[in-house]
């Protein structure tokens, strides 16, 4: 595995991102809709920098399973149990890759008739995009590579790492032929 972003760099980028969000939202209350499992560490750090009134809600969506390619069909495994009508929603995810997850979730959340929906990701990885979607807020931009750490997994491993790494060919081979 190759180190891409140290914990110090991640912390600095999250702080800078939060400053932008604070400027944009001012005093307006925001509902962070956090996508489990991957976004939990990012959201925990981000929300502690936010100065507007914050409400935290969680959803669980899955489209990768044990693979490094999207199934093409994000499944909602845990939905919201409250209506978010007239709320300002900030949809928080760890990574934007094909875009299918955030595209699907943004459409799903529109049914709540919120006042606004914006998207916020730790990593915007643009090379594999399949739908036209851009993150409103992204802490880090990356062209390619399957990344793990800081909440992100490969087959449920590595979420606990405090930095972000790129998996290399031998890491993937090791996993499929233990």
Ligand X SMILES: O=P(O)(O)OC[C@H]1O[C@H](OP(=O)(O)OP(=O)(O)O)[C@H](O)[C@@H]1O
Ligand Y SMILES: Nc1nc2[nH]cnc2c(=O)[nH]1
Q: Rounded to the nearest 10 degrees, how much is the dihedral formed by the CA atoms of 168, 156, 16, 28?
A: 150
When CB distances are held under 5 to 8 angstroms depending on the partner's kind, the choice from ligand X, ligand Y, none that residue 10 binds is: none
To ligand X, the closest distance from the beta carbon of 51 in angstroms equals: 26
Instruction: Measure Cα distances from 152 to 37, 86, 114 in Å.
Output: 8, 31, 28
Residue 135 binding ligand Y, by CB under 6 A:
no
Residue 61 vs 120, nearer CB to ligand X = 61
- Give 17 or 93: the residue with its C-beta nearer to ligand X: 93
Q: CB under 5 to 8 A by kind: which of ligand X, ligand Y, none does 93 bind?
A: ligand X
Beta carbon of residue 43, minimum distance to ligand X (angstroms, whole number): 11
User: Considering only residues 31, 37, 123, 135, which one is a binding residue for ligand X as defined by CB under 6 A?
Assistant: 37
3-state SS of 20-78 is HHHHHHCCCCEEEEEEECCCHHHHHHHHCCCCCCEEEEEEEEECCCCCCCCCCCCEEEE
Mark whether 136 is an active-site residue. Answer: no
d(CA 97, CA 27): 31
Determine the Cα–Cα distance for residues 18 and 22; give it in Å rounded to an integer. Answer: 6
Question: Closest approach of Cβ 117 to ligand X, in Å?
Answer: 16
Among residues 93, 94, 97, 124, which one is catalytic? Answer: 97
List residues near ligand Y by CB under 6 A.
Answer: 64, 95, 97, 125, 146-148, 152-154
């Amino acid at each position: 595995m190759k180190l891409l972003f140290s914990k110090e760099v991640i912390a600095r980028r999250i702080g800078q991102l939060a400053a932008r969000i604070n400027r944009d939202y001012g005093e307006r209350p925001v509902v962070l809709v956090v996508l489990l499992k991957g976004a939990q560490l990012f959201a925990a750090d981000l929300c502690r920098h936010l100065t507007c009134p914050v409400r935290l809600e969680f959803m669980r969506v899955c489209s990768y399973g044990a693979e490094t390619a999207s199934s093409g069909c994000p499944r909602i495994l845990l939905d919201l149990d409250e209506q978010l009508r007239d709320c300002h929603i900030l949809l928080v995810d760890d990574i934007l890759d094909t875009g299918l997850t955030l595209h699907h979730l943004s459409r799903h959340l529109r049914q709540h008739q919120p006042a606004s929906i914006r998207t916020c990701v730790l990593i915007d990885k643009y090379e594999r995009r399949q739908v036209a979607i851009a993150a409103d807020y992204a802490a880090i931009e990356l062209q390619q590579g399957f990344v793990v750490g800081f909440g992100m997994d490969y087959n449920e491993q590595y979420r606990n790492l405090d930095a972000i790494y790129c998996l290399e060919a031998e890491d993937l081979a090791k996993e499929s032929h233990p």
